[in-house]
Chains A and B, each alone.
Chain A
Amino acid sequence: DTEVTQTPKHLVMGMTNKKSLKCEQHMGHRAMYWYKQKAKKPPELMFVYSYEKLSINESVPSRFSPECPNSSLLNLHLHALQPEDSALYLCASSQGRAYNEQFFGPGTRLTVL
């Protein structure tokens, strides 16, 4: 199974809502990533987990809170988002370092009203 799954596919939320994005992989990868991608822009790294520990936080606002409950799961908790946070949120995983092939999920299209 070489697939990274993400749920939900689409999410619309208000600025006062709390929601979570979920990501799952069963490839035994020990590195997992969250990226944010705006239209016609490259993916921007947000967080990296290595062996279930937060390894990189790219100065992401605290309204985004990542969680790695186990080696297969990665969550992104959302609270008090702004309309400018609307984007495609991509999850990825890799065997070891990021320069190894990263497997990306299909993304969650988030709209903040």
Chain B
Amino acid sequence: SQKIEQNSEALNIQEGKTATLTCNYTNYSPAYLQWYRQDPGRGPVFLLLIRENEKEKRKERLKVTFDTTLKQSLFHITASQPADSATYLCALHNTGGFKTIFGAGTRLFVKA
């Protein structure tokens, strides 16, 4: 069955450092991969989309990589800030594009 794994443990980092979150998947060949941020009790907020033929995408302090051979995406937040503390979800989509499968998310804590 399709499976998505994200860092199960919370990630604690110091302000100013780079946070790196991992999303691994099996039994799936996504055409698109997204990253969302979710704060407690709120709906997810879209951050970045990367396509299967793209290796890397950047937006401000965020960078996403997508390795279809390793079946892995890495999500980086550079110069992290306490306001970046949240749960980050990766989401996979097939070519048809209506069905979204979310990973369980990684809880990030950035300490001042």
Contacts and interface: CB of A to CB of B under 8 A. Distances in A.
Interface residues of A, number: 29
Contact of B104 (A42, A56, A101): A42
Interface string B36-67: 00000111111001000000000000000000
A99 B102 contact: no
Interface residues of B, number: 22
Interface of A is mostly: strand
A92 B97 contact: no
B87 to A, nearest CB: 9
B70 to A, nearest CB: 21
Contacts of A98: 93, 97-100
A29 interface: no
B105 A99 contact: no
B32 to A, nearest CB: 4
In the A-B complex, the 6 residue pairs with the smallest Cβ-Cβ separation, listed nearest first, are A104-B43, A97-B97, A42-B102, A99-B32, A99-B93, A101-B46
Interface of A: 4, 31, 33, 40-45, 48, 50, 55-56, 88, 90, 92, 96-107, 109
